[in-house]
Amino acid sequence: MKTSTHISCYITVLLLFIHCNLFAQKKNNYAASVDSLIKTTDIRNFNGVIAIAENGIVKYTKAYGFSNLEKKTPLKMQDNFEIMSNSKQITAALLLREVDKGKVDLQAPIKTYLPYLTQSWADTVTVHQLLNHTHGIDAIDKPLLFKPGTSFKYGNFSNVLLGKIIAFSSKKTYNQMADSLFKALKMKHTFAYVKDKNKPIVTGYKNKDGVFTKVETSQINPDSTPADGIITTAEDLVIWNSNLHEGKILKPETYKLMVSETVLAQHNSFGKEKCGYGYGIRVNNNGKTKYIGHTGLGDGFASLNIYFPKNKISVVVLENQMNDKLELAYYFGNQVKEIILKLEDKK
C-alpha cells in the first residue's frame, strides 16, 4: 500500500512537471517564430537587435547583421543606436518629473516657462498641448496651423520647446537632466547626444531598393535632442520600460496622465485605425490586448518600443537601416510585435 502511494505520488509529480514544461514552452514559443522571421528576405533584410522581456527580465535577445556594412562588423546587443522619436517618451517623462515637483503646470501657457517668446501663441498654447501635439505650432516664426487643442499634428518642434521648459524649470541643461536620470536607473549605455563627444554609435544606413548608403551627417543638434537625440541599447530600453511602467519614475497620477488617450491619431505600427496618443506615447486599446509605445525614424535608424501592460512584456526592435519606403521601415518591428500580440490575445 505504501509503495502504491509512492508510485501514485511520483506519477502525479511527473505529470505536473511535464505540464509545466509544456506550458512554459507554449508561453515562450515566440523565440522560434522571431528567429525564423529575421532570417527571411522576401520583404527586405533585417539588420538590427531585438530584446523581449517579461516582468523586466530579458527572455530573448538577438543581434543580427552588421554595425558597419563596409567593414562587416557584427552587431552586438551592447551596441548603441539612435532611437530618434522614441526620445520623445523620455522627454515627456522628464517634463512630468518637473510636474511632480510642483515646478510645472500642464495647463499653464508655455510663455510662463519660456518668457522670451514674443509670439502671441505663447500665451495660449499650454504645456499639455506641446506634450500631445495638439498645439498647432508649425515653426517659431509662423502662425498657428489650427486653434490649440482642436487637432493633432505630430512633429519635432514641440519637443524642442519641452526641452527648454525642462531646462528653465530645473535650472540645468536638458542633457544633464536626461543623463542624471539614466544614471539613477542604471541605464549604463544610454545618453543624450553631444556632437563629437559621444561613445561609439553603430552606423546608420538609408536603404533604397536594397542599395545601402551610409548616413554621414546626423540630423540631431542641441535644440532637437529632446525630440530625437537619445542614444541607447535595446536592453537599456527594457530597463526604461520596467521603471516607467511600474511606477519608479513618475507618481501614479502623473503616469496615468502620460498613458491616457488625450487625442486620437493613426500610425501603421499601431494599426490602421486611429488610436490614442498620450504624452510621448501611443496607446492602442482597439483590440483584445492593450499595448503602448512609440516609434523612431531618421539618420538611417528605425526603432520600435512596445509595452504590453497586462503581462508586463517589453518588445524592443532597433535597426540601423532606414527604408525609403515608409511602409517597410518598421516591417520587422511590426512583425515581432504581432507575434507577441497574437500570443497575448490567446491568454
Domain ranges of the chain: 31-346
pLDDT of residue 274: 97
Q: Count how many Cα atoms sit within 13 Å of the Cα of residue 220 in the half-sphere of its side chain.
A: 29
Read off the pLDDT of residues 280-293 as tens digits, 9 standing for 90 and up: 999 999 999 999 99
Average pLDDT over residues 167-182: 98
Beta bridge partners of 133: none
pLDDT at 29: 81
Edge-to-edge order in the sheet of strand 57-64: 57-64, 48-54, 313-319, 301-308, 291-298, 282-284, 275-277, 263-265
Are the C-beta atoms of 177 and 229 separated by less than 8 Å?
A: no
Q: E strands along the chain, which residues? A: 48-54, 57-64, 66-68, 73-74, 81-82, 191-192, 205-208, 211-214, 230-232, 263-265, 275-277, 282-284, 291-298, 301-308, 313-319, 321-323
Say if residues 317 and 50 touch (Cβ distance below 8 Å).
yes
Nearest to 302 by CA among 106, 111, 54, 83: 83
Contacts of 213 (CB under 8 A, 6+ apart): 205, 206
Distances (CA, A) of 120 to 143, 164, 307: 9, 18, 39
Q: Which fold has domain 31-346?
A: Beta-lactamase (3.40.710)
- pLDDT per position as a tens digit, 16-57: 443 444 334 344 589 999 999 999 999 999 999 999 999 999
| d(C-alpha 145, C-alpha 136), whole Å | 5
Q: Let me know: does 88 contact 133? Beta carbons within 8 Å.
A: no
Strands 321-323 and 205-208: parallel
Burial class (CB in 10 A: 0-12, 13-18, 19+), 32: exposed
> Taking the CB of residue 99, how many other CB atoms lie within 10 A of it?
19
pLDDT digits (tens, 9 = 90+) for 264-281: 999 999 999 999 999 999
Give the pLDDT confidence score for residue 28 in this predicted structure.
56
Q: According to the model, what pLDDT value does residue 133 have?
A: 98
Q: How far apart are CA 41 and CA 64, in angstroms?
A: 13
Q: Band of the pLDDT at 347, cuts 50, 70, 90?
A: confident
Residue identified by cell 543580427 is 64
> For residue range 184-213, what is the model confidence (pLDDT) as tens digits?
999 999 999 998 777 889 999 999 999 999
Report the Cα 52 to chain-centroid distance in Å.
13
* Statement: the pTM of the whole predicted model exceeds 0.85: yes
Q: 115-161 pLDDT, tens per residue? A: 999 999 999 999 999 999 999 999 999 999 999 999 999 999 999 99
